[in-house]
Structure 1
Amino acid sequence: MIVERSMSDGWLTNTYLVAAGPNTDAFLVDAGGPMEPLFAKASEHGLNVTHILLTHHHGDHVSALGDALERYPDAQVLAHPEERVPGTTGDLHPGDELTIGGLNVKALHTPGHTAGMLNLLVDGKELFTGDTLFKGSVGGVRAPGSTSFEDIKHSIMEVILTLPPETVLRPGHTEPSTVGDELEHNKFVRLWRGLDPEGDEPCKALGEDATLILLGDDYDGGHKAWVRWPDGRDDIVPGSKIER
């Protein structure tokens, strides 16, 4: 399988070019740019990009969609119905399966960061996780269109991390991982598994009183925080919004 990655400088957003092998049909996962390196790789491998599959609608994942469509004007642009953006040509529903250049692509619904977030499982071996799960971190539930802590926990623990441990995880930002690595090393996952104790430090989160359950890592070298509000609700917020 060919998997080429381009990562934007500012947002650290990944765009992927995926194909079964050279001289076949291929697809893009998201379109956050820069696109030129992927265009070059497609030409180098003799690939015909027929589809652009969007994990979700946030601007850092679709900002270069126009560039991609200028290069591949006949490509189908598919997204969950709640994640459509200008340029989308069709819907990709949870459970839908596509065959592109001999690869099977299955859409898994993983709400939390957004309501219609899709993860894309390719040939049962590689999962493109969008902004649901990162290497060592998890997606936040404070971005536009987000749903809840309970949703993203379920998406990670009951959908993604039930896949075989050798499954390669290719997130929407920065470096890849595997299911096995995240089960063992991701601090949020370890707490959800009951392997490590929850914290109980009082803090301010977004200017409000809260309990800091975990100040974990984030993909950009900063932090992401799991907090609990006085009414018992859990939340995941940027680490920069925590006052200790």
Structure 2
Amino acid sequence: MPYSGDVTPGGPPDVRELDALTITKVSVGPMDNNAYVLRCTATGSLLLIDAANEAPRLLQLASIGRLSTVVTTHRHMDHWVALEEVVAATGARSVAHAADAGELPVKSDTVHGGDVITVGACPLEVIHLVGHTPGSIALLYNDPAGIPHLFTGDSLFPGGVGNTRGNKENFTSLIDDVERKLFDRLPDETWFYPGHGKDSTLGTERGSLPEWRARGW
């Protein structure tokens, strides 16, 4: 079946096969968090985005011993409950933005906006988006054989930017970063994969940016 990105806690993963990269999306409970296993076709190397929960399920998807890197998109606990167990079982390195890494339960390598994290032969660009947390990041895979693929954590969802809990300064920072670093730069066909719920494309959401900014959340 074609990839839809529709997954539910306890349900099967959804798999998208690109020329050089395979993306496996799974939802873990209890908060319906998305986790993504990326596999480089050329090398078999694996990278996990957000070890959110249910470590045994994530380890099964990631094939113990082949997972090299776990990237945490931001410091909120629902995105790293399984991180310590996954890292201990695999020896994978933990990676997070410097502004959030200190809040994680394991020692983590730090990155900044513009850095590149590789999964095998596939580069993932780090995009720093300030507002949901100080160190929230998105990861961009600019597929040379297709469309861009963007993993947005809790900074961008279908229907709006991430929760800034009524803080006007944080909201302004986040929507400015999302508009300038994502929408102004990337084409409409860019497919994005959020930290919870369904996927979307930048083109689907682009026309709603003025509405999001006006409503303030």
TM-score (norm 2): 0.79
Could you say what the CA RMSD is over the residues aligned between the two structures, in angstroms? 2.4
Pairing 1:185-196 to 2, within 5 Å after superposition: 187=208, 189-191=209-211
1:23 is displaced (CA, Å) by: 5.7
Tell me the matched-pair count.
Answer: 190
CA 1:120–1:177: 2 relative to 1, 3 Å: same
Between structure 1 and structure 2, the one with the greater Rg is 1
Picking from 98, 116, 121, the partner of 2:135 is 116
Mind listing any 5+ residue stretches in structure 2 that lack a counterpart?
Answer: 1-20
Corresponding residue SS for 2:99:
helix
| Aligned 8 A contact 2:51 2:58 in 1 | no
Q: In the alignment, is residue 153 of structure 1 matched against residue 175 of structure 2?
A: yes
1:11 is displaced (CA, Å) by: 1.4
Picking from 67, 92, 98, the partner of 1:81 is 98
Partner of 2:74: 56
Over the matched positions of the two proteins, sequence identity in percent amounts to 29
| Aligned 8 A contact 1:165 1:178 in 2 | yes
Partner of 1:94: 113
**What is the distance in 1 between the residues matched to 2:56 and 2:142?**
27
TM-score (norm 1): 0.70
1:190 is displaced (CA, Å) by: 4.2
| Counterpart residue type for residue 78 of structure 1 | V
Mind listing any 5+ residue stretches in structure 1 that lack a counterpart?
Answer: 199-212, 214-225, 227-235, 237-244
Pairing 1:1-244 to 2, within 5 Å after superposition: 1-21=21-41, 24-43=44-63, 48-73=66-91, 75-84=92-101, 85-123=104-142, 125-142=148-165, 148-162=170-184, 163-184=186-207, 187=208, 189-191=209-211, 213=215, 226=216, 236=217
**What is the distance in 1 between the residues matched to 2:172 and 2:75?**
21
| Aligned 8 A contact 2:23 2:39 in 1 | yes
1:98 is displaced (CA, Å) by: 2.4
CA 1:148–1:89: 2 relative to 1, 3 Å: closer
**What is the distance in 1 between the residues matched to 2:65 and 2:84?**
19
